Amino acid sequence: MKREVPIIITLVVGIVFILSYFIPHAPFGELETFYNEWFSIVASFAIWLGALNLMKLSFIRISRKQHDWQLSWVIVICFLVIVAVGFYDGYAGLSNNPQTSFRDPGTNFDWLYTYIYTPLSSTMFAILAFFVASASYRAFRARNTAATLLLLAGFLVMLGRVPLGDILTSYLPEGWRASDWASWIMNFPHTAGQRAIKIGVALGIVSTSLRIILGIERSHLEG
Amino acid sequence: MLKKYGFAIVMFLICLVALVRTFMAEPDPLAFSPVVSYIVIGLLALAMIAVLILTIKGIFVERRWVFLFVGVALVLPYFMSITLKTKVSPEVQGLFNGVNALPPGSKVLVAFDYDPPSAPELQPMADAFMAFAFKRDLKLIIIGLWPQGPQQANLSITRAMAEPEVAAKNLRYGTDYVNLGFQSGNEFVIQSMGTSFRSMFPRDIYNTPYDEIPLLRGVENFSNVDFVVNWSSGYPGTKEWVQIAVDRFRVKVGAGNTAVQAPEMYPYLNAGQLTGLAGGMTGAAEFEMATNEYGRATVALLSQLFSHAVVIAFIIIGNVALFLGKEKKTR
């Protein structure tokens, strides 16, 4: 029964979703809404599970003194501080008249979000610029025909996406400048490639979904 | 760990203290005059030429030098007093036209599907849109499929409200705009909204029941909103809005994406499923230009230009190194 029940649930929900797409009326429309609400409930629990799992892993790392275990303290302390402040502000907001949100400007949570979380996470993303530059320096090399085409496309798009491209090609007539080359690459060769990938991915998803709904593919039940 | 990173941490702290002291001593924004700015650009160009010459001589620069050049190219423009204007691309013009065509009083659903890491690119678009929409008397229904989305929306609202023209309108929460907050469930939220907004967002962020919010009276599903604007940096995001809201419920959607995500949206844009698309910092600057709401993206455009120029220069240098290596081998 451990395997049969999930397969039956998958089969029923999958078929209802397929039917409700084509027949958005009773009873399929209502069933779809019902399942969507259940999905939101499950997803909300998943967020909590994820957070608690992170805590569990961090505590295990600390107790076993694994590699760089001190950094796990940073995770635990930050998590506890932000949760405590969020709950405190949320609770205080409920007693205000009219009620306020813990996200409102001026709250402690907003201060942590704006002055600690935002700069830290932005810094992580900003580091990407350096890796992209280093990767371009090493990877964009005309080793063969395909690599040369990639190099040319990347070069033209990068040039055309900033005003520098149009400044350098300002002597050319309107419609033939660097930004126009970049637009042409994005609208034609790039779109064609993207469409091919998207159609391939969609066909893959359809076939995998059908295999899961029909119970042929069962790897998701393991573990 | 301290042994390994001790030197770097000390250097970082020294730089931090120096920066804090500089800004404390000079509270006004530091800015080079245009002449000094051009001299700095010239010096940067000379340094790149020096790297090229070294490469031709067979001395290849390390990765750390690439990082240094990119860092300098990104930071210096913020102190320069050169202003750049860019051409509004057809993609951004489409997004602007979609919003601009809405008559005053139209209801626009704005989905903030991003978090602070993507904010440097997406927040300027959202800020420009918010100010523009408020000035045009559009009614905004804000939601987030990412937990941080509603907070990013609050930042945009605060900035827009600081503008005298918007402040003079005396806009009221619940009547002119509403923030319904975050709902988990990814694309299933969009799907359920096709039937009922209320089922997914029974209360706003202030815990007010859906039915007690004046702006939401008569808003049952997508048929009751005139346009959807999506600021997105990943999943769930523009792709899901197109696949469900556009394809299934025939809603008009315009989007702003990060530079990494935007190329993936071109098939939807060219098929007419997306009304318009602003991509990355350049898209944000173009959107600011189209809406006449100049902000941080226009300032950051110079930084973007410099970094692109440095990357292009290093690609050329990398290829010079490759050909020189091939030549040596054939000899």
Q: Could you give the count of Cα atoms lying within 13 Å of B287 in the half-sphere of its Cβ?
A: 37
Closest CA–CA distance from residue B301 to any residue of chain A (Å): 8
Residue A113, pLDDT > 60, answer yes
Best probe of the A interface among B148, B247, B319, by most A CBs < 10 A, is: B319
Share of chain A above pLDDT 70, in %: 100
pLDDT of B19 reads 72
Would you call A199 helix, strand, or coil by DSSP?
helix
pLDDT at B16: 77
Mean pLDDT across A163-169: 87
CA distance A165 to A177: 7
- What is the mean pLDDT of the segment spanning A67-76? 92
In angstroms, the Cα distances linking A60 to A65, A70, A75, B7 are 8, 12, 13, 30
CA distance B99 to chain A (A): 22
Residue B257 pairs in a beta bridge with B232, B279
pLDDT of A149 over the 70 cut: yes
Measured at the alpha carbon of residue B49, what is the angle toward residues B34 and B316, in degrees to the nearest 5?
Answer: 110
A29: chain B residues, CB-CB within 8 Å: 195
- Report cis status (omega within 30 of 0) of the bond before A27: yes
CB contact under 8 A, B266 and A191: yes
Whether the CB of A48 is below 8 Å from some CB of chain B: the reply is no
> Residue B23's pLDDT is what?
64
Cβ distance of B318 and A29 shorter than 8 Å: no
Shortest CA distance from A197: residue in chain B: B264
Q: List chain B residues with CB under 8 Å of A98.
A: 206
Looking at residue B211, what DSSP letter applies? Answer: G
A181 to chain B, minimum CA–CA distance in Å? 12
The distance of Cα A29 from the centroid of its chain, to the nearest Å, equals 28
- Best of A125, A128, A197 to disrupt the B interface by mutation (most B CBs within 10 Å)? A125
Of A44, A105, A136, the CB nearest to B158: A105
Q: Which residue of B has its CA nearest to A196?
A: B267
Instruction: Measure the CA–CA gap between B236 and B251, rounded to whole angstroms.
Output: 17
Q: Which residue has the tokens 């395909």?
A: A146
Beta carbons of B67 and A134 less than 8 angstroms apart: yes
A31 neighbourhood in chain B, CB within 8 Å: none
Task: Please give the DSSP secondary-structure letter assigned to residue B9.
Answer: H
Collect all residues of chain B within an 8 Å Cβ-Cβ radius of residue A101.
Answer: 205-206
Q: Evaluate whether B266 touches B287 at the Cβ level (below 8 Å).
A: no
Residues of chain B predicted below pLDDT 50: none
Residue numbers of B between 188 and 207 with CB closer than 8 Å to A = 188-189, 191-192, 195-196, 199-200, 205-207
Token pair, residue A1, equals 């029964």
The answer to whether A148 faces chain B, any CB pair under 8 Å, is: no
Chain B contact present for A56, CB below 8 A: no
Interchain CB contacts (distance < 8 Å): A and B: 163
In chain B, % helix, strand, coil (3-state, to 5) comes to 60, 10, 30
Q: Do A194 and B200 touch (CB under 8 A)?
A: no
- State phi, psi for B77 to the nearest 5 degrees: -55, -25
Of A118, A125, A158, the CB nearest to B311: A158
List all residues of chain B from 246 to 265 with a beta carbon under 8 Å from chain A: 248, 263-264
Q: What is the pLDDT of residue A30?
A: 83
| A185 and B89 Cβ atoms separated by less than 8 Å | no
Q: Among positive and negative, which fits the CA dihedral B313, B314, B315, B319?
A: positive
Select the residue of A32, A124, A155 nearest B312 (Cβ to Cβ). Answer: A155
- Contact status of A66 with chain B (Cβ, < 8 Å): no
B317 closest CA partner among B46, B51, B47, B45:
B51
Q: Which of B63, B90, B117 sits opposite A125 (nearest CB)?
A: B117
- Report d(CA B187, CA B242) in Å as an integer: 10
Of A121, A134, A190, the CB nearest to B116: A121
Please name the residue of chain B whose CA is at the shortest distance from the CA of residue A148.
Answer: B319
The pLDDT-based confidence of A217 (bands split at 50, 70, 90) is: confident
Q: Are A95 and A115 in contact (CB under 8 A)?
A: no
Q: What is the DSSP letter of B62?
A: P
- CB neighbourhood size of A28 (10 A): 18
Question: Is the pLDDT higher at A34 or at B254?
Answer: B254
Out of A130, A166, A187, the one facing B87 most closely (by C-beta) is A166
Quick one: which of B50, B318, B66 has its CA closest to A155?
A: B318
**Amino acid occupying residue B286:** E
What is the ipTM score, two decimals?
0.87
Residues A59, B33: Cα–Cα separation, whole Å: 54
User: pLDDT value at position B1?
Assistant: 59
At residue B290, the pLDDT reads: 95
- Say how far apart CA B244 and CA B195 lie, in whole Å: 12
Note the pLDDT of residue B13: 80
Within 8 A by CB and 6+ apart from B314, the residues are A133, A136, A137, B66, B69
State whether B118 and A29 contact (CB < 8 Å).
no
Provide the 8-state DSSP code for B144: E
Res A167: pLDDT: 87
| Mean pLDDT of the A103-120 span | 90
